[in-house]
Chains A and B, each alone.
Chain A
Amino acid sequence: DSGVTQTPKHLITATGQRVTLRCSPRSGDLSVYWYQQSLDQGLQFLIQYYNGEERAKGNILERFSAQQFPDLHSELNLSSLELGDSALYFCASSERGPGNEQFFGPGTRLTVL
């Protein structure tokens, strides 16, 4: 158990819908990272937040957005969903910023029908 929690574990929705994925980092960790893993692909970095502020952006679509709240939990919002958005979404956290080991949550499996 990494100490990073993600909810829900599974999510099934339809094209065009909007969903919110939630992540609670390990106690004391200030940085939260979001990754997407599509079928048979590696994890693709989406975005990083540090202590409530966006720190780095990767291959995140405009239809996706994220935020980190004062209690340090983070939410990833996916809107106007398409079939290709079906994937595993992982959240990771680390103590401070870059350079520190990232601990991953168990992921949320999103299926868009």
Chain B
Amino acid sequence: DQQVKQNSPSLSVQEGRISILNCDYTNSMFDYFLWYKKYPAEGPTFLISISSIKDKNEDGRFTVFLNKSAKHLSLHIVPSQPGDSAVYFCAARIGTASKLTFGTGTRLQVTL
């Protein structure tokens, strides 16, 4: 039972353009969402998060949008840079619970 889904295994974007990574969830109890970035041979690194009381959170080039009615969130990266090439994981949590539920990841490649 995949409660957090990232339906696009990969995405290729040109440098300078916008990257949009999508994530869907099925459990309406999730109220906190996170994006992690992972480079090869490294562990995931926290990127940005959003609480369910908000619909947008911005941090520099990264913005996360949350649409609770659609149970959908997206990560926008503008402008995309070659160093953004990595696997991006969406994760969700219920309250302050320990458990993070992760999606399967989207591999982003930013080309020159």
A2 adjacent to B102 (CB under 8 Å): no
| B-side interface residues, number (CB < 8 Å) | 24
Identify whether the interface residues of B are mostly helix, strand, loop, or mixed: loop
Q: Which residues of B contact A48 (CB under 8 A)?
A: 98-99
Establish whether residues A104 and B105, one from each chain, have CB atoms under 8 Å apart when the complex forms.
Answer: no
Q: Given contacts A33-B98, A45-B99, is CB(A90)–CB(B104) below 8 Å? A: no
**Tally of A-B Cβ pairs under 8 angstroms:** 60
A32-57 interface bits toward B, Cβ cutoff 8 Å, 1 = contact, 0 = none: 01010000111111001000000110
B29 close to A (CB within 8 Å): no
Contact: A42 with B89, CB < 8 Å?
A: yes
Give me the interface of B with A, judged by CB distance under 8 Å. Answer: 2, 4, 6, 9, 36, 41-46, 89, 91, 95-105
The number of chain A residues touching the other chain, given as a range, is: 20 to 34
Q: A41-B104, A42-B104 are in contact. Are A106 and B41 (CB under 8 A)?
A: yes
